[in-house]
Amino acid sequence: RVRHHKWEVKYEYKSPDCFKKLSVSINGKTPGPTIVAQQGDTIVVEVKNSLLTENLAIHWHGIRQIGTPWADGTEGITQCPVVPGDTFVYKFVVDRPGTYLYHAHYGMQRQAGLQGMIKVLVPDGVVEPFSYDYDKNILLTDWYHKSTYEQATGLASLPFVWVGEPQSLLIHGKGRFNCSTPGTDVTLCNATNPQCSPYSMIVIPGKTYRLRIGSLTALSALSFEIEGHNMTVVEADGHYVEPFEVQKLFLYSGETYSVLIKADQDPSRNYWASTKIVSRNSATPNGLGIISYYPNHPRRNPPTVPPAGPHWNDVAPRVAQSVAIKSHKDFIHAPPKTSDRVIVMLNTQNRINGFVRWSVNNVSFNMPHTPYLIALKHNLLHTFEQTPPPDNYNHENYDIFSVQKNVNATTSNSIYRLKFNTTVDIILQNANTMNPNNSETHPWHLHGHDFWVMGYGNGKFNLSIDPKNYNLVNPIMKNTIPVHPYGWTALRFRADNPGVWAFHCHIESHFFMGMGVVFEEGIDKVGKLPTSIMGCGDSKRFHRP
Ligand SMILES: O=C1O[C@H]([C@@H](O)CO)C(O)=C1O
């Protein structure tokens, strides 16, 4: 089936946490509408850019765009931006079932509200390895009151102005700001402003719910829990996992999970849903929502104090859930036993010409003016640096546990060229930032592919030892994976999808500050590019008037 969507993107005042802020909405909503489809369907989204003064591009996060690399929606990489007043048509096949996301991929526009979820159902007659009565989706985000323009300007200024911690955490677009904790005090800040009432999900006693939970935070790693209910994790980034039960679910920006919960608690009351920032020591209040047992009033506060959530620095359970999960035994897709290339990516924070940047192997990424897909397909190779970035760093004498000078860090728009149909290993190597005794978690997201999570560990990756412990049997496949503080995460993927694919930290500020790379593979196999993606940089000449 072809599923048609007609979207208008515009500026709109929104008060998701009771604080009025100019946001970006899709057909008047943020989060935008959930796209629902079945595996094999074609999605057509006709997007009208009604932002008066701003371009846009929309990325379909987790969708592999096989055969349609020009629909990946990454401005500067797969397309020119969609200019104000223009309409752009995204058309692609959702080739796998699962829970995915969509969001702006232009500057730091994503966190202004241009984001939502994609739900791809199995075809009729195909059974899933678990059963449930209802299927709901919840998008988790953090929320800043400063505009993205102020934030981007601060990051690109001298002196550097960090974005800081978010003002609130939203549960499917609903949050609270400057309130006392509901449940101990009836004066809810939401009471005054009808537009912002807490998120509430009605459940029927005795029924089982599949909750598809995604995170599109700009910065925060989150812990999500529902008071009094355990969750059985059954899916991660569109892949079935060997089920396991948790009380708290950890999500990094760009990840999705499906969990099953049974409404089997005392039905005479409602329960808190709550999110809390982890991996950064933040004073941002927990996000709160209400799970309401029918027929209770959906907004009746639970009689309890909301769950406090885990300690921000309790890394072990986060590691256990994020990189140690396994593929479901009946859906194993084993990885190639060996790889043709290993690219070690040292993640460092650097000062380059005074500006605070993030780098990979001492190279901080910036975009050229002609999108790579167009430049490569039309042989406009003068538009970006041709010498690829390094496959490694001087790891013999690099101390990942202390602040390093990294004086020879540079910015560059060079890209990695991958031999088509080869197997590539990426080793994400974390390190100390420019602040003493500080190493931060980075959730890396790969466009155009799922990768196998081969292994992870603390300290410095050892190429002659660690690969011997890779999981070659049932590693989970994902499109987003964290590298934990002072640790490393190894992933493997097949360069089998003709196109140009971003691979970057999904923390919006970090990618904006250069924490990303671009892979090209099989460009000669890419079909004729639609002119709709052209018109900027050196591709003006290809754009029909
Ligand atoms: O890029 C960053 O800047 C701040 C801090 O390093 C300087 O304020 C932070 O936590 C980042 O991730």
Closest ligand 1 atom to residue 356 Cα is 1
Query: Would strands 423-429 and 341-352 be described as parallel, antiparallel, or unpaired?
Result: parallel
* pLDDT recorded at residue 193: 55
Is the distance from the beta carbon of residue 339 to the nearest atom of ligand 1 less than 6 Å?
no
Probe residue for ligand 1, chosen from 277, 279, 281, 433 as the CB with the greatest number of ligand atoms within 8 Å: 433
Q: 112-133 pLDDT, tens per residue?
A: 999 999 999 999 999 999 999 9
Look-up of token digits 């992870």: 456
Residue with CA at minimum distance from ligand 1 atom 4 = 162
Residue with CA at minimum distance from ligand 1 atom 7 = 162
As a whole number, mean pLDDT of residues 355-369 equals 97
pLDDT band at 217 (very low <50, low <70, confident <90, very high): very high
CA distance 318 to 220: 13
Angle 285-288-291 from CA coordinates, rounded to 5°: 165
Q: 153-195 pLDDT, tens per residue?
A: 999 999 999 999 999 999 999 998 876 544 433 334 544 555 5
Please confirm whether the linkage preceding 390 is cis (ω < 30° from 0): no
CA distance 101 to 537: 29
- Residue 151 DSSP SS3: helix
CB count in 10 Å sphere of residue 122: 14
Residue 146 scores a pLDDT above 80: yes
* pLDDT recorded at residue 543: 60
Is the distance from the beta carbon of residue 462 to the nearest atom of ligand 1 less than 6 Å?
no
* pLDDT recorded at residue 178: 73
CA distance 253 to 308: 21
| Residues 350/406, Cβ–Cβ less than 8 Å | yes
Q: In angstroms, what CA-CA distances link 318 with 278, 466, 478?
A: 9, 21, 16
CA distance 255 to 456: 17
Residue 76 scores a pLDDT above 50: yes
Is the distance from the beta carbon of residue 281 to the nearest atom of ligand 1 less than 6 Å?
no
Is the distance from the beta carbon of residue 435 to the nearest atom of ligand 1 less than 6 Å?
yes
Q: 256-293 pLDDT, tens per residue?
A: 999 999 999 999 999 999 999 999 999 999 999 999 99
CB count in 10 Å sphere of residue 289: 24
CA distance 99 to 239: 9
| Distance between Cα 171 and ligand 1 center (Å) | 25
Is the distance from the beta carbon of residue 225 to the nearest atom of ligand 1 less than 6 Å?
no
As a whole number, mean pLDDT of residues 485-493 equals 97
| Distance between Cα 160 and ligand 1 center (Å) | 9
* pLDDT recorded at residue 429: 98
Query: Would strands 516-521 and 480-483 be described as parallel, antiparallel, or unpaired?
Result: unpaired
Tokens of 175: 């949050």
Probe residue for ligand 1, chosen from 357, 434, 440, 507 as the CB with the greatest number of ligand atoms within 8 Å: 440
Please confirm whether the linkage preceding 475 is cis (ω < 30° from 0): no
Probe residue for ligand 1, chosen from 155, 349, 357 as the CB with the greatest number of ligand atoms within 8 Å: 349
State the chain's mean pLDDT as an integer: 94
Query: Would strands 287-293 and 271-278 be described as parallel, antiparallel, or unpaired?
Result: antiparallel
Look-up of token digits 């988790």: 140
Closest ligand 1 atom to residue 280 Cα is 10
DSSP string, 457-520: EESS--TTTGGGG---SSBPEESEEEE-TTEEEEEEEE--S-EEEEEEESSHHHHHTT-EEEEE
